[in-house]
Structure 1
Amino acid sequence: MPIMDAVRPLARDVRATVLPDPADRHGPLPPVMLALTVVTGLVDSFSYLTLGHVFVANMTGNVVFSGFALAGAAGFSLAASLAALAAFAAGALLGGRTAHRRRAHRGRVLHLALVLETVLVLAAYAVARYQAPLHAAGTRYPLIALLGLAMGIQNATARALAVPDLTTTVLTMTITGLAADSRAAGGPGGKSGRRALSVLAMFAGALVGTFAVRHGDPSLPLLLATVLLVGCTLNAFTLTRSDASWTDPL
């Protein structure tokens, strides 16, 4: 049946992403990158909803928000957007240096980056949990700095690891590929399952983070992100001991 013919490759792709073949070029990395995509959704839901229309992971939004603020649109802060851009760039620089120094083993690149990111997000959670109000400059800007640094490290690491269609933050090209490479568009339809999972992971993080902010403690998304990061870090520690082919630099 045509429907089953379309579903089977999608299901295989989803399974290969969630439960990857150890012999694959990217080994056990895909599910870790999916978890980090959920972290992005959690962290950006916190920053946008509690820190005042600013993202700490999706920098395209901050560039646009800067234009809004300069044009006088209400509810947008040029200072906050620029602070997030600067913190993210600093984190990307740190993440890039880490990746280049440990590039001989991709598992060690991932582990060290996750240690740094976990510490930063945990620190942000402590600030958000015990400092109030969150919109006060003395709380808002330290949170933007901590989370921007963490997300910059994550993005630089994802770039260095280069797992296809799992950038952990930017979904524009992922969604473009999902549509443009589909069989409906005359394309091969490959990797549609992985791309859909990436979109769903970001959506899930944002959804859970928003519910947590609106119906629980505003700092709860950062606690959930920290728990996920701790799990990823512990898993990555086991990967540092691997000598499989996936650990070799690309």
Structure 2
Amino acid sequence: MPVVLREAWTTLVPDMDDRHGPLPPLMLALTVVTGLVDAVSYLQLGRVFVANMTGNVVFSGFAFAGAPGFSLAASFVALGAFAAGALAGGLIVHHSHAHRGRMLLHALCVETLCVLAALVVTLISGSPYDGGVRFALIVLLALGLGVQNAVSRALAVPDLTTTVLTLTITGIASDGRLAGGGGSRAGRRILSAAAMLAGALVGAVAVLHGHPTLPLVLAVAILAVVCLAARILARADGPWTLPVVKK
């Protein structure tokens, strides 16, 4: 089997005795969620991201310069809510640090509640989402994704950050044998990029074809499945459950 396919397979169907055990496919599922919610935020809430904060920093610069179509308030609200979510995620991480399965479960419960609340807001208000509804959705989604990013950072599954792809894509090229590297782990990295692409694609198609709530419905469904898996894993015992020692 080619190396890339083998790497992809072991990411989707991991060895439970591996250092990261069953976590890789769950991180891929959360990456799909990122694509779904950012499709909602960018296409329906006015050029703002709720998961990719680099974009909001850049958008803030555009807004300061007076570029049309960019909202400084929306970018700042997203950044603030995301930071608050990351703070909450950090508290969860440090409280559950001894067991990575419990850490993931507790964080996902909070994230799922945030995204579910956002879905309820969309169902009650109806589209288009403007005024207070728009900012409520930005806050709820950014809070949830802030929690997700905090826990994914603590879990530290290589190349599966669930949000940031810049370094992942860089690694495919710079760590490959053509560049003189020992191997780029391209199989796992390509899956990560494909997961976000799939989420964004499905989310965008739904929004553009008149189903504005569908991306959040799918995001809640995925989070519920991952929550169920995490609940089972929270009772597991194995080398993967031990916290990662960062150097």
The TM-score by the shorter chain falls in which range?
Answer: over 0.9
Deviation digits for residues 83-139 of structure 1 (CA, Å, limit 9, x no counterpart): 000000000000011000100000000001111111110110111122134432110
Once the two structures are superposed, residues 189-238 of structure 1 have per-residue CA deviations (whole angstroms, 9 ceiling, x without a partner) of: 24110000000000000000000101131111111000000000000000
**Preserved contact between residue 114 and residue 229 of structure 1 (Cα < 8 Å):** yes
Are 1:221 and 2:215 matched, yes or no? yes
The match for 1:46 among 40, 50, 54 is: 40
Cross-structure match for 1:152: 146
| TM-superposition CA deviations, 1:132-182 (whole Å, max 9, x none) | 344321100000000000000000000000000000000000001011011
- 1:74-153 alignment, distance < 5 Å: 74-153=68-147
For structure 2, the residue ranges without an aligned partner over 5 or more in a row are none
Correspondent of 1:246 among 214, 221, 240: 240
Alignment correspondent of 2:178: 184
Deviations 1:42-62 (CA, angstroms, capped at 9, x unpaired) = 000000000000000000000
Give runs of ≥4 in structure 1 deviating > 3 Å: 132-135
Match for residue 169 of structure 1 among 163, 172, 182: 163
Please point out which of 25, 33, 55 is paired with 2:27. 33
Gaps of 5+ in 1: 1-6
Aligned residues: 244
How far apart, CA to CA, are the structure 1 residues paired with 2:200 and 2:127? 22
SS in 2 for 1:218: coil
**Once the two structures are aligned, what percentage of the paired residues are identical?**
61
TM-score under structure 1 length normalisation: 0.96
- Look up the match of 1:63: 57
TM normalised by structure 2 equals 0.97
CA-atom RMSD, angstroms?
Answer: 0.9
Query: Could you tell me how far apart the structure 2 residues matched to 1:186 and 1:134 are?
Result: 51
CA distance in 1 between counterparts of 2:18 and 2:11 reads 10
Report the AA paired with residue 70 of structure 2. F
